[in-house]
A and B are shown apart, each in its own frame.
Chain A
C-alpha cells in the first residue's frame, strides 16, 4: 500500500527497473518511463507494459516533477512530449495541479506558451474564431502533428507516432489550436509567456531576442510594434518642440544694405563696406545678394566678413544669373538674380564686409570689340550690373531643422523596418491565403 502522507505513487519500470513516479493517480492513463521510454498502462493494477523501449534518457529543460508558479497557480511538470509536423519540432510539458487541472507548457525555438484546453468550441466569424472577445485569424491549416518522444504521465493513451490534424489560428501573443483525430476534437488556447514569467516559474534559459534572419513563432508579437506605438507620441512631441525652437530662434535683425556696380566682362570690382557690429556671442549672418538688372549673364560674388581686430575671414560665394530668350515654344528664362547666403558662427566683434564681384555676359546681344590685351572679343556698351547686398544678423538654417527631424525619426524608422522584417518572416509561414492588410494590422495589436 502506498503511504498516505504523499500524493505521489511510485512503481518500478518493468523494463529498466527505474523508479517511476505517478503524480496524478486516478487521472493518469499512460506512464512513459523517463529513463527508457517504456509505455506502461497505469489503469491496470499490474502496470502492464504497452510498448517496451530501450531509449536514452531524454534531457529535459524542465525535469519531470519540477514545480513552478505561473499566474498564481503552482504547477508540477508531470509529462513531456516531443512533437513534429514535418517542418518544425516542439516540446510540450503537461502541467498538473489537483485543484486546477491540467495545462500545457509548449516550448518552441526557446519560447514558452501556456496552453489551456477549452471546454466550449470557439465562436466562428467568417474565417476567424473568437474566444473570450479575442479574435483569432487563420494561420496554419491542416498540418499533421506527430508524437516523436514521450516521458512521464498522461491522461490519455499516448504513444509515439500518434498523429492529430492541427489547425492554428493566431493573434499577437496567443494561438488557438484545433487538434482532431477520428475520435475527438479539442481546442486549446495558448498564450506566449514573457521571458520573465517562464524564468521565474521554471528555471529555463531566457528566450532569445529576435534578430533578422530568425523565424518568429506564428503568435509571437512583434517586439517592435510596441516600441513603434510608444515612440510615435514622443516623436510627434519632439517635432512640435522643434517647430517651436525653429520659430523662436533664427530670426534676422538689423539689416544693412550696401551696393556696388560691376561692368559685364569688365574688371573685377572689389569693395569694402562696414563697419558691421556683432555685439555678443557667436551668431550667424544672412546675406541677400541681389542683382536686379543682370540679364543674359552672370555675376560671381565673393563675400567675406573680416574681423577688424583678428583679421579672421568668414567667406561665402554667390552666383547670380539670368538668361532668357525665344524659341519654338515661346519665351523662356532661367537663373535667379537673387541668392541668400548664410554664414555660420561669427564671433562677436566689428567686421568689414569685403565684396569681390565680377560680371559676365553670355550670348549675341550687345556690341563686340576686340580686346588686344586679353586676345578675346568683349561686349561693349552694356549697362553696369548693380549688386545690392543686404546683411542682417542671425540666420535660420533649414538644414539644421531637417537634420534634427532626421535624427528624431531615424529610431522609429529603424523600428518600422525591423517590424516589417519581423512580420514578413512571421507571415511567410502562413498557410492558405497570402497575408493581407488585416494580418498586418493585427500584427500591430498589443498582446
Chain B
C-alpha cells in the first residue's frame, strides 16, 4: 500500500494495488496518476450520478477461485443505457473486472491480443464493421457477437489501470456463448483490448460488505 498527497487538494490518496497507476481522489475527484515517487493530477473525474448498484468500493468476495476486493469503477453509457465496470483486485495482486448491467454480472479478465486470433476479432481490430450474430472462437470457446455499441465514459472512482476521463469514447463489442461464458472487446484511441470471462450471480460471489441501500435489506447470506 502506498499513500501520496493529492496534487490538487493535498488529501491523502491511498493506492491499495501495487501496480495500478491511477486513483481518483475521494475528496476533489482529481485523477491522480502515480509515477515511481511522485504523483500528478490528470484532470477531474465527473461526479457519478446516483445508481442503485449493490456493489461499492470495498465489497469483497470470491471469484476466479480466489478472493477479491473492489477498488475502482468506471461507468459507461451508450445511447440506450449505462452500466458499471467494477475493478476487482485479486488476492494474487492481479486485477479483473466485474461488469454489472441490467441486474446481471459478468466476471472478466483481460487476455492478450496475440497469437492466433479469430477472424471476427481481427476485423474489429481493423475497424471493419461486425454485426450481432457473427461467431468466432476465442480462447478455445465459440462465441457469438451479442451487440456492438459506441460507448462513452461518464465517470469513474477509486483505483484504475488507466485514466478514464468523462466523454472518453470507445467501441464496445459483447460476445456470449451457450455455456454462460462471455467476452468483451473494446477499442479506443489507445488501441484494442479483449476481456474473457463468464456470467456470475451476486450470491455466487459470496459477497461481503455490499453497499447498504435504504429501504432494502441485504441478502441474508451477505450481511
CB neighbours (8 Å) of A6 from chain B are 214-215
Q: Would A7 and B80 be within 8 Å (CB), given that A25-B51, A26-B51 are in contact?
A: no
| Cβ contact within 8 Å between A183 and B82 | no
B124 CB within 8 Å of chain A: no
CB neighbours (8 Å) of B140 from chain A are none
Using a Cβ cutoff of 8 Å, how many contacts connect chains A and B?
90
Out of A97, A120, A121, name the residue touching B216 (CB < 8 Å).
A97
Stretch of A98-106, A197-205, A261-269, A370-378 on the interface side: A98-106
B interface majority secondary structure: loop
Out of A98, A100, A121, A183, name the residue touching B52 (CB < 8 Å).
A98
| Cβ contact within 8 Å between B80 and A29 | yes
| Cβ contact within 8 Å between A101 and B146 | no
| Cβ contact within 8 Å between A74 and B217 | yes
Distance A74 CA – B216 CA, assembled complex (angstroms)? 8
Q: In residues 1-27 of chain A, which contact B (Cβ within 8 Å)? A: 2, 4-9, 23-27
A123 CB within 8 Å of chain B: yes
| Cβ contact within 8 Å between A100 and B178 | no
Q: Size range of the interface on B? A: 20 to 34
Q: In residues 171-223 of chain B, which contact A (Cβ within 8 Å)? A: 176-181, 199, 202, 210, 213-219, 222
What is the interface size of chain A, counting residues whose CB is below 8 A from a CB of the partner? 33
Q: Which A residue's beta carbon lies closest to that of B133?
A: A185
Q: Would A119 and B52 be within 8 Å (CB), given that A99-B210, A100-B202 are in contact?
A: no
A interface majority secondary structure: loop
| Cβ contact within 8 Å between A99 and B218 | yes
B167 CB within 8 Å of chain A: no
Q: How far is the CB of A128 from chain B (nearest CB, A)?
A: 15
CB neighbours (8 Å) of A156 from chain B are 80-81, 102
A401 CB within 8 Å of chain B: no
Out of A25, A26, A121, name the residue touching B178 (CB < 8 Å).
A121
| Cβ contact within 8 Å between B199 and A43 | no
| Cβ contact within 8 Å between A99 and B216 | yes
Distance A4 CA – B177 CA, assembled complex (angstroms)? 39
Q: In residues 359-401 of chain A, which contact B (Cβ within 8 Å)? A: none
Q: How far is the CB of B67 from chain A (nearest CB, A)?
A: 20
Q: Spell out A's residues near B (CB within 8 Å).
A: 2, 4-9, 23-27, 29, 43, 45, 74, 96-102, 117, 119-121, 123, 155-157, 183-184
A sample of 21 cross-chain residue pairs with beta-carbon separation below 8 angstroms, ordered by A number, consists of A2-B50, A4-B214, A6-B214, A7-B216, A23-B52, A26-B49, A26-B53, A29-B80, A43-B81, A45-B49, A99-B54, A101-B102, A101-B103, A120-B178, A120-B179, A121-B176, A121-B177, A121-B178, A156-B80, A156-B102, A184-B146
